[in-house]
Homo-oligomer: A and B are copies of this chain.
Amino acid sequence: MSGVVVQNIQRASLDVIDALARCGVATVHEAQGRTGLLASYMRPIYAGARIAGSAVTISAPPGDNWMVHVAIEQLKESDILLLAPTSPCEDGYFGDLLATSAQARGCRGLVIDAGVRDVRDLTEMKFPVWSKAVFAQGTVKNTIGSVNVPVVCAGAAVNPGDVIIADDDGVCVVPRLNAETVLAAAEAREAMEGEKRSQLAAGVLGLDMYKMRERLEKEGVKYV
């Protein structure tokens, strides 16, 4: 089941990917029916990054980053590395050397359900990472895993080539084949939000804007 490297994965179009990044995690997640979020413990190592890219997935044993090297060869411009350990682990699989190598191949960032280290260097390099932990603990290169196989990462099922969106709110995965549809829904949602924001800023209440008063009364809410 391990020991497989899939070389030719399909990717969504870069235009769609970049447009999803602009929408951001919260909007994209809403636009695809409130699905696709990774767990809330996945936090960025620095604030302000907002990226999207195609997932090159890594299934790696706990405490062993051998497959990261294998995965880096599979990266294409604009991809995102996404690592799921085969059992819970917070070791620092990834640091500035691997980031240098990944960045040289056009990689936009790392999503890892484990630890990362050299975060000061990564911040200076502007290589964004969303991780479960920051931990200097080193890893070995003794046991194989797989690259570009389906994984569950921080509670979300991810297939290679799926679109990953990540920002200060966390990380969201959009299945590759849904990317265009989700983008359309996300952009529609954004358009509507502008109008709503103006009204709310002007003091209109959500209760009125969303016409909630009657339904609240029916549910039995009492003002005292």
Complexed CA–CA distance, A156 and B203 (Å): 32
A177 in the interface (beta carbon within 8 A): no
Given contacts A87-B90, A97-B196, contact A135 B7 (CB under 8 A): no
16 more contacts with CB within 8 A, not counting A86-B137, A87-B135, A104-B201, are A3-B222, A46-B47, A87-B91, A92-B169, A97-B197, A97-B200, A98-B200, A101-B200, A104-B203, A120-B168, A134-B169, A135-B169, A136-B169, A140-B143, A144-B220, A157-B157
Interface size on A, residues (CB 8 A): 96
Report yes or no: A138 in contact with B29, Cβ–Cβ below 8 A. Answer: yes
Q: Is A126 an interface residue (CB 8 A)?
A: no
Please tell me how many copies of the chain the complex holds.
6
CA distance A4 to B7 in the complex (A): 35
Residues from chain B with Cβ under 8 Å of A87 in the complex: 37, 63, 89-91, 135, 137
A-side residues, CB < 8 A to B, are: 1-7, 24-26, 29-30, 32-35, 37, 39-40, 43, 46-48, 50, 61-64, 66, 69-70, 72-73, 86-92, 95-98, 100-101, 103-105, 115, 117-120, 123, 133-138, 140-144, 150, 152, 155-157, 167-170, 172, 193, 196-197, 200-207, 210, 212, 216, 219-224
